[in-house]
Amino acid sequence: MEFTIFLAAFGLYVLVLILLPMQYRFLIALKADEEKNRLKGKKQAEMYDAMNVSELSLHGNMQGNPLFFLANLFASILYRVKHSGDPK
C-alpha cells in the first residue's frame, strides 16, 4: 500500500518536472502576446477573438487540462517570482 502511494507521488512529481518547462514557456508567450496587443490598444477578449481555432484549442488544453494543474500552478508562481520587478 505504501509503495503504491509512493509510486503515485513519484509519478506526479516526475510529470510536473516534465510539464513545468512547457507550461512556463507557454505562459511567457501568452504574456508577450497580451503585452503586444495591449500596446496596440486591444483588450484581452479581442486577443482571444482574433485567435484561430488551433490556437484556442491549444490554449484550452494547456490551461484547462486537469493533468496540467500542478504544472500550471508552479509555472504561474515561477513566472510571478521571476518577473516581479518588471514594469507593466
Residue 2 in domain? no
Residue 16 lies inside a defined structural domain of this protein: no
Sign (positive or negative) of CA dihedral 69, 70, 71, 73: positive
- C-alpha cell read off for 31: 504574456
Is 87 a domain residue? no
Task: Evaluate whether residue 72 is within a structural domain.
Answer: yes
Q: What is the pLDDT of residues 51-69, one digit of tens each?
A: 888 888 888 888 888 888 8
This prediction's pTM: 0.76
Report yes or no on 28 lying in a domain. yes
Distance CA 58, CA 48 (A): 12
Number of structural domains in the chain:
1
Chain segment 1-46, per-residue pLDDT in tens: 888 988 888 888 887 888 889 999 989 998 898 899 889 988 888 8
Domain span at 29? 22-82
Is residue 26 a part of any domain in this protein? yes
pLDDT at 48: 84
pLDDT (0 to 100) of residue 24: 92
81 pLDDT exceeds 90? yes
